[in-house]
Amino acid sequence: MAHSVVPEAEEILDQEFRVLDKGFVRLVDYLGGDERIVQSARVSYGAGTKTFREDRGLIRYLMRNEHSSPFEQVVLTFHVKVPIFVARQWIRHRTARVNEISGRYSVMTSEFYVPEGQNIALQSENNRQGREADAVTPEMQQEIAERLADEQKRSYGSYEKLLDEGLARELARINLPLSLYTEMYWQIDLHNLFHFLKLRMDNHAQYEIRAYADTMFDIAKRVSPAACEAFTDYVVESVRFSGAEAEALRSALGLAASEPAVPPHLEQAAEAAGITGKALSRFLGKLSHE
């Protein structure tokens, strides 16, 4: 199968999209796009076998029914510059090929992440792994930012001194802080990228990694816009209910198990939201637990 060229993706190849204060994401390479997904799903060789509308419908069907393998046919390679503490969260997603700069071979640059004032907040009282929504006072923001920067400068100064004294790079680096920027190449297929984005674009994810995820999603839209549209509709903006929650919802809507008919006002509300045709049948079927 020939390499599919996506003009919108070609336009941004190797462009740096800035993230945080000193970081970036850039698309180094890609393999395939929406066309590759539908060709793979149809086990077809050659372009133009279906209309755009039919291709989009197939992609949405695949996403809606969680048929993941066609999405794995699209591969994206990113080059990212990211604080080490973000990279350590990132690397937990073990479904990608990763190559990171090594402090054993290279002298690390003096670049550190300092959060902007509006992102400096106290520990959340009801979320053990997150911060409060509201930032600290402007005075405290400045004090903390200056303290972080001073400690980073002092740490890097010690690192440079150890290098000047001839200490091995692999030892000199060990006291460098997690705020130091690192760089890595990250290659992943679209299905696993979507899984990464589902978790890291969520409002509960740490702000810093969420900023990278949002940028990567904007890039992915240039490669596979129809797939990203389906991902938005069926994953990002969807809500899943437990069995008990669904039963409570049906009860609140007056959908008793003994009365499978759907009240007219629900059909009207669905149609007002643009849900028609087969989509309307699927929606009403969910509510009726069919």
DSSP states of 78-90: EEEEEEHHHHHHH
* Catalytic residue (choose from 200, 222, 250, 282): 200
Query: How many CA atoms within 13 Å lie on the side-chain side of 275?
Result: 14
- Three-state SS annotation for 30-53: EECCHHHHHHHHHCCCCCCCCCHH
**Selection from 18, 2, 1 nearest residue 219 by Cα:** 18
Is 200 catalytic? The answer is yes
User: Residue 232 burial (CB < 10 Å; 0-12/13-18/19+)?
Assistant: middle
SS3 99: strand
Q: What are phi and psi of 182, to 5 degrees?
A: -125, 170
Residues annotated catalytic, as ranges: 200
